[in-house]
Amino acid sequence: MEKLLAHLSHLEITSPDVEASAAFYVGKFGMREVHRAEGRVYLRCWGDYDTYSLVVVPGAEPTLSRMAWRTTSSEALDAAAARVEASGVAGEWSEGGYGYGRAYEFTGPYGHPMRLVWNVDKYQAGPEFASIYPDRPEKRSLHSAAPRFLDHVTVATSDVRGFAAWYSETLGFRTMAFTDLDEAPITVFSVLTTNEKSHDLGVVLDTSARAGRVNHIAFWVDTHEDLLRTADVLMEHGTPMEYGPSIHGIGEQNFLYFREPSDLRVELNSGGYRNYVPDWVPNTWKPSQGSNNFYRNGAMPRSMTESFPHAEGFTATEEGASEEMKAELLNPYATQGRG
């Protein structure tokens, strides 16, 4: 298969309080508002090459309402749409929207709304934000917590290996790794990529009945020091660290997690390996090998098993599975009344 997808372009998320969420991303996290229309707020990081990378949309619950991927060409967009339809998934073409042109939109087989685009508006900074460096779309932010650009999205699914297979076979994502429980061959996590990063799409196992949920959205900073300073700034300004800073085993990125006002989980990354191997065969990790935590000494907070929108039932996390989730998966009759 020719390479179809180039990178994650933008994410649309819903929030019950768009103003509170937007104020958080701008005031505390150092993103910048570039547009608003019909109640939607368009936000960019200073290093995003496209006009924006995050859209906050009015909605009753925190959700991932769309993930948009840029194809490698106009022909690749047509080819990707044809492959989606050939797999039995029906989508729709649109004329595009703010910042992007002709688009193919569909809901993936596990309930995740997708958008494929080729034509996007490259960000053109006005005099106030123009960088002195030609390759930068905008000058570096003055905000001491500001992410450079969007990094990845991690969603939740009832079948991690099925999800990875469909996105790999249909759209050409490389599947980079799996995590199976130590106790049983139950796959709780996988990472996929369109490029040299360990992942720009993650997926965790979901035991709830709600399809299409999201576990977190993630942004990038250049250095570990930037990441630690962001943790410091957020702590000082009333946003606790849900987990981290620490280092992932899979991908080897530095990470931290926090929540935005809608309750949606946001991750920040730096570092990590690059992988260009075209015929990479994914390894299957066990949590005991440090898939969850490079140093094999971290205790993951139970709150990390929450995905969005909220639902009954656990999800795994980028870190593996909680003890509660393992108990549920390994013995579904363990709860009184189910036997």
Considering just the CA atoms, what is the radius of gyration of the chain in Å?
A: 19
How many residues bind Fe ion (CB under 5 A)? The answer is 4
Stretch that binds Fe ion, among 23-31, 104-112, 214-222, 239-247 (CB under 5 A): 214-222
Choose, by CB under 5 A, the member of 267, 307, 317, 326 that binds Fe ion: 267
204 in Cβ contact with 316 (< 8 Å): yes
Answer yes or no whether residue 218 interacts with Fe ion by CB under 5 A. Answer: yes
Nearer to Fe ion, 48 or 318 (CB): 318
SS3 annotation, 232-284: HHHHHCCCCCCEEEEECCCCCEEEEEEECCCCCEEEEEEECCECCCCCCCCEE
**Secondary structure letter of residue 321 according to DSSP:** -
Q: What is the rounded distance in angstroms from the CA atom of residue 61 to the CA atom of residue 14?
A: 7
Q: Which stretch binds Fe ion (CB under 5 A): 56-64, 111-119, 148-156, 190-198?
A: 148-156
Contact 26, 141 (CB under 8 A): no
Contacts of residue 223, defined as CB under 8 A and 6 or more positions apart, other chains included, come to 270, 271
Nearer Cβ to Fe ion (47/244): 244
Task: Tell the smallest beta-carbon distance from residue 313 to Fe ion (Å).
Answer: 20
Token output for 79: 């080819």
Residue 63: CB minimum distance to Fe ion, A: 17
Stretch that binds Fe ion, among 90-98, 103-111, 259-267, 327-335 (CB under 5 A): 259-267
Rounded least distance, CB 227 to Fe ion, Å = 13
| Min separation Cβ 218 and Fe ion, Å | 5
Q: Give the range of 44-52, 147-155, 172-180, 273-281 binding Fe ion by CB under 5 A.
A: 147-155
CA-to-CA dists, residue 321 to 191, 301, 310, 329, angstroms: 15, 11, 17, 10
Query: 97 or 245, CB closer to Fe ion?
Result: 245
Report in angstroms how near the CB of residue 152 gets to Fe ion at its nearest: 6
Q: Which of 48, 206, 242, 318 binds Fe ion (CB under 5 A)?
A: 318
Round to whole Å and give the CA distance between 263 and 309: 9
CA distance 228 to 80: 39
Per the listing, tokens 């998934």 go with 89
Residue placing its CB nearer to Fe ion in the complex, 260 or 318: 318
- The answer to whether the CB of 100 falls within 8 A of the CB of 9 is yes
- Shortest distance in whole angstroms from residue 71 CB to Fe ion: 23
With contacts defined by CB under 5 A, name the span among 83-91, 166-174, 222-230, 261-269 that binds Fe ion: 261-269
Choosing from 14, 71, 72, 154, the residue that interacts with Fe ion (CB under 5 A) is: 154
Judged by the rule CB under 5 A, the positions of this chain that interact with Fe ion are 154, 218, 267, 318
